[in-house]
């Protein structure tokens, strides 16, 4: 058991690592500060993230940069309609030894990495998408009746393109719920575009080395779980979750009209855990109300299921969550 002084020293040392990590990422990724923060929050909270954005916005580069900065193994899986579950988790292969004897040998798939980029995840069939469910929830894969542990830490960053919907499959609700956060990657500004062009068309590339190990990341994840949160903020997180349900008496008009189903219990867990991670990222020992409000859209936008009317009139999940947050602010003044 650490003393208060030892805990504070450990916290401050970890803050230095986080600061250096963020600076290293920002040397490579131009702009996208909110996305960088949210990816770090998801990692510190020990969860997975879903990024939605058009191709070419640096999603792959972001994950690879984080992997290099933390000395983690990186795998990329390009999802296509003909991708099979065995292409992800691995398969048993027949091998022959020096004596000529044959035996089955397990050939690990790309899921056996610390940071796994599932690129355009909605282009694979539901059967293939479901191959990620066990890995994301249990951090294990089962092949031929044998369960194998995945390397730790383990983090899945999935992307989907919001424009090209032909030949895509809707992610199952159970799989969406496995993602801690869903982030929207916005198109860069004119100034950021100019900086991107200048940085990527010159011969000079900054040398990057690992800032910390995967074990150090796991230590920071443990510290995040120790961040304090007041009972009234936990109650507020639960109240926020209940307000996403159209049958709840506190539900807003948009929720009652446009929501088919609200967020499940994982939503409240995700809200508290990511609020703790944001507090840690900002150098605080405790969660503030601002933390809950800032992370709420990314926590709920993929857990609030809209009905056909909402899709027809163009009401987004962010519109619905925004109205919920506005109502919550009014009722808690």
Show the tokens assigned to 77. Answer: 């899986």
Angle at 291 between CA 288 and CA 287, to 5 degrees: 35
DSSP-based three-state secondary structure for 138: helix
Q: What percent of the chain has pLDDT over 70?
A: 95
Averaged pLDDT of the chain: 86
Which domains are present in the chain? 1-199+213-226 (3.40.50.300), 228-333 (1.10.8.80)
* Cβ 252 vs Cβ 323: under 8 Å: yes
Q: What share of the chain is helix, strand, coil (3-state, %, to 5)?
A: 50, 15, 35
First and final CA of the chain: distance in angstroms? 39
Read off the pLDDT of residues 68-102 as tens digits, 9 standing for 90 and up: 888 888 888 888 888 888 888 888 777 776 777 77
Each of the 333 residues of the chain gets a pLDDT tens digit; together they read: 778 888 888 999 999 999 988 888 887 877 778 888 999 999 999 999 998 887 777 777 888 888 888 888 888 888 888 888 888 888 877 777 677 777 777 788 899 988 898 888 888 888 888 788 888 888 988 887 788 899 989 999 988 877 655 557 777 787 888 899 999 888 877 887 887 787 777 765 655 678 888 888 899 999 999 999 999 999 999 999 999 999 998 889 999 999 998 999 999 999 999 999 999 999 999 999 999 999 999 999 999 999 999 989 989 999 999 999 998 877 665
Show the tokens assigned to 249. Answer: 């008496």
Q: Which residues pair with 104 in a beta bridge?
A: 94
The half-sphere exposure of 307 on its side-chain side, counting CA atoms within 13 A, is 12
pTM: 0.88
Give the torsion sign (CA, 265, 268, 272, 274): positive
- The pLDDT of residue 175 is 80
- The pLDDT of residue 200 is 73
- The pLDDT of residue 207 is 59
Instruction: Measure Cα distances from 299 to 20, 54, 237, 295, 307 in Å.
Output: 26, 21, 11, 6, 19
Q: Give the chain's radius of gyration (CA, Å).
A: 21
Tally Cβ neighbours within 10 Å of residue 327. 18
């Amino acid at each position: 058991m650490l003393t208060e002084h030892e805990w504070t020293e450990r916290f401050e040392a970890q803050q230095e690592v986080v600061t250096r990590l963020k600076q290293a990422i920002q040397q490579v990724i131009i702009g996208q500060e909110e996305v960088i923060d949210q990816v770090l929050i998801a990692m510190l909270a020990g969860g997975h993230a879903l990024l939605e954005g058009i191709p070419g916005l640096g999603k792959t580069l972001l994950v690879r940069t984080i992997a290099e900065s933390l000395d983690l193994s990186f795998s990329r899986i390009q999802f296509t309609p003909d991708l099979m579950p065995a292409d992800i988790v691995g398969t048993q292969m027949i091998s022959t030894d020096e004596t000529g004897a044959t035996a089955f040998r397990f050939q690990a798939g790309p899921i056996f990495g610390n940071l796994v980029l599932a690129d355009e995840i909605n282009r694979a069939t539901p059967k293939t998408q479901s191959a990620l469910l066990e890995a994301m929830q249990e951090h294990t894969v089962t092949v031929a009746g044998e369960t194998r542990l995945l390397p730790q830490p383990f983090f899945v960053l999935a992307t989907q393109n919001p424009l090209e919907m032909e030949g895509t499959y809707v992610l199952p609700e159970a799989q969406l719920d496995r993602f801690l956060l869903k982030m929207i990657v916005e198109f860069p500004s004119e100034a950021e575009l100019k900086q991107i062009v200048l940085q990527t068309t010159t011969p000079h590339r900054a040398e990057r080395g690992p800032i910390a190990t995967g074990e150090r990341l796991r230590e920071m994840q443990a510290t995040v779980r120790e961040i304090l949160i007041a009972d009234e903020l936990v109650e507020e997180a639960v109240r926020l979750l209940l307000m996403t349900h159209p049958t709840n008496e506190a539900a807003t008009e948009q929720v009652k009209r446009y929501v088919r189903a609200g967020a499940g219990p994982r939503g409240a867990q995700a809200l508290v855990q990511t609020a703790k991670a944001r507090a840690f990222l900002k150098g605080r020992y405790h969660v503030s109300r601002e933390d809950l409000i800032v992370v709420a859209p990314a926590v709920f936008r993929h857990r609030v299921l809209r009905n056909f009317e909402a899709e027809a009139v163009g009401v987004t999940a962010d519109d619905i969550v925004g109205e919920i947050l506005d109502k919550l602010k009014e009722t808690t003044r």
